[in-house]
Structure 1
Amino acid sequence: MRKNAEISTTTNLTGLSPSLVNTKETQSAVAYRLLKQRILDGALPAGTQVLEHEAADLLGMSRTPVREAMIRLHQDGMVDIRPRHGMRVLPISAEDMQEIYDVLTSLEGSAAATLAERGITEEQKQELEATVAAMDLALEQDDLQAWASADEVFHAKLIEFSDNKRMISMVSQLWEQSHRARMLTLRMRPRPTKSNREHQALIETISAGKVKQARQMHETHRKKASTMLVKLLKELGATQI
């Protein structure tokens, strides 16, 4: 395993709590979830190579569920499987992110328009506003990680409230692929105060039933985020993701 992979300095994968192992999840599913989360959060950055037996030792499992988890991660496009060498975490290029955000922009814009046309309940509006309040509080406390988490919840709820199962599934996959890049560039971007205000403005526009404006407003918001993220990745050479 690459020595600087930070495995021993981040969330411990050993000694799984009962809540993780005494559920209906199989060991393969637990291994997949834990390894995937570490890749998404950057604990296993691009280029990190993890041998099958090393991952098994870290997870306190046999090699079989770990092998199955690695195969699933390979199918997700997150790792490359190498015979006798386990898995290697793959990078995400600036070009990949441009394509991902192009699709996200279109899908989320459609979701915003759908909600504006159909209308949202007072409870849904309050849930969206609660995420904006959480983002504001996070910035007040200078906690960018908390801000990013609240931001993701806002976008997830926007899609969830559309009630379009296929859209929900597609956006979920795209968000997972973009999460690593967002975490890498989180502290490189300008303070996202304006982003919070744009979220609140979108809520008001949706509540007012302004369909075309809601779509345009959210697509503009997404395109700005995409331009900034892709620019930062190009400056980094996208080698650290």
Structure 2
Amino acid sequence: MTDSTKPKSQTQRAVEDMRALIFSGDLAAGTDHLEQELAQRLGMSRTPVREATLLLEAQGLLEVRARKGVRIQALSPDDMAEIYEVLTELESVSAYRAAKAGLSRSQLSQLAGSIDQMEAALRAEDREAWATADAAFHDELVALGGNSRIQSIVAMYNDQVRRARAMTLHMRPMPHQSNHDHRALYDAIARGDADAARAIHHSHRAQAQQMMVSLLKQFGLKRV
């Protein structure tokens, strides 16, 4: 049994702190940083920072460059188009599998709760709260699909999607259509209509891809 009170390692702290700096833009896309600089900024030694940069490189957030430190990866429209192609297919399979599983309303309560939170966030015009609830919805959808390999692949790309969303959150229209899509998907899963669930989610993700790519183009970002 894992002890939840166990203190975080220095490497875990470095990963979390660097992720926060990247997501906030304090470590901006395309910028270069020396290991020693990052260690001083985080108030720790170079060893956990070095280990953290390797983990963040695997997540696609930065590139470790020999004898040159790290470069924070930009999110180009092409990158995001490719990521969404993968997520659209895999999450749609998860929606299909969840509907096929004959899940009870109790088993779907977390999914429904995320929709309620998104709708409350829109009423309050709180985009950040909406984004948090939206991420929880997609995580739960993939979990309900019950395919551990899909979960692993989706997890590889989630940070990049959430980073792109953080960059564009205040550029997009209020996501009322997204909430409508989520509610329709929930209803299809609850009534066990697997084909409808897959089709609804595939359309939803395809539309999200078009919008995200268009918004990223406004940043003028390119692969580096």
Task: Give TM-score scaled by structure 2 length.
Answer: 0.90
Aligned to 1:193: 176
Q: Are the aligned partners of 2:53 and 2:64 in contact in 1 as well (CA < 8 Å)?
A: yes
Q: Are the aligned partners of 1:42 and 1:180 in contact in 2 as well (CA < 8 Å)?
A: no
AA matched with 2:191: A
Q: Structure 1 segments of 4 or more deviating over 6 A?
A: none
Q: 1:70 aligns with which of 53, 71, 89?
A: 53
Instruction: Provide the C-alpha distance between the structure 2 equivalents of 1:150 and 1:98, rounded to a whole number of angstroms.
Output: 23
Matched position secondary structure for 1:87: strand
How much does 1:54 deviate? 2.2
Aligned to 2:16: 33
Q: Are the aligned partners of 1:42 and 1:183 in contact in 2 as well (CA < 8 Å)?
A: no
Alpha-carbon distance change, 211 to 82 in structure 1, aligned in 2, over 3 angstroms: closer
Instruction: Provide the C-alpha distance between the structure 1 equivalents of 2:58 and 2:49, rounded to a whole number of angstroms.
Output: 14
Matched position secondary structure for 2:64: strand
Aligned to 1:19: none
Which deviates more, 168-177 or 100-109?
A: 168-177
Instruction: Provide the C-alpha distance between the structure 2 equivalents of 1:45 and 1:138, rounded to a whole number of angstroms.
Output: 28
- The reply on whether 1:173 has 2:156 as its aligned counterpart is yes
Instruction: Provide the C-alpha distance between the structure 2 equivalents of 1:41 and 1:173, rounded to a whole number of angstroms.
Output: 20
Instruction: Provide the C-alpha distance between the structure 2 equivalents of 1:134 and 1:43, rounded to a whole number of angstroms.
Output: 29
Matched position secondary structure for 1:161: helix
How much does 1:85 deviate? 4.1
Alpha-carbon distance change, 124 to 40 in structure 1, aligned in 2, over 3 angstroms: farther
Which structure 2 residue ranges, 5 or more long, are not aligned?
Answer: none
Aligned to 1:159: 142
Instruction: Provide the C-alpha distance between the structure 1 equivalents of 2:74 and 2:155, rounded to a whole number of angstroms.
Output: 19
- The reply on whether 1:235 has 2:218 as its aligned counterpart is yes
Matched position secondary structure for 2:192: coil
Render the CA deviation track for 1:66-111: whole Å, top value 9, x for unaligned: 1121222233332223455422201121011111001101011001
Which deviates more, 95-104 or 40-49?
A: 40-49
How much does 1:24 deviate? 5.1
Aligned residue pairs total: 219
Matched position secondary structure for 1:88: strand
Aligned to 1:51: 34
- The reply on whether 1:23 has 2:13 as its aligned counterpart is no
Instruction: Provide the C-alpha distance between the structure 2 equivalents of 1:222 and 1:77, rounded to a whole number of angstroms.
Output: 21
Q: Are the aligned partners of 2:63 and 2:73 in contact in 1 as well (CA < 8 Å)?
A: yes
Q: Are the aligned partners of 1:134 and 1:150 in contact in 2 as well (CA < 8 Å)?
A: yes
Two-structure CA RMSD over aligned residues (Å): 1.9
Matched position secondary structure for 1:124: coil
Q: Are the aligned partners of 2:59 and 2:157 in contact in 1 as well (CA < 8 Å)?
A: no
Q: Are the aligned partners of 2:97 and 2:146 in contact in 1 as well (CA < 8 Å)?
A: no
Q: 2:196 aligns with which of 207, 213, 217?
A: 213
Task: Give TM-score scaled by structure 1 length.
Answer: 0.84
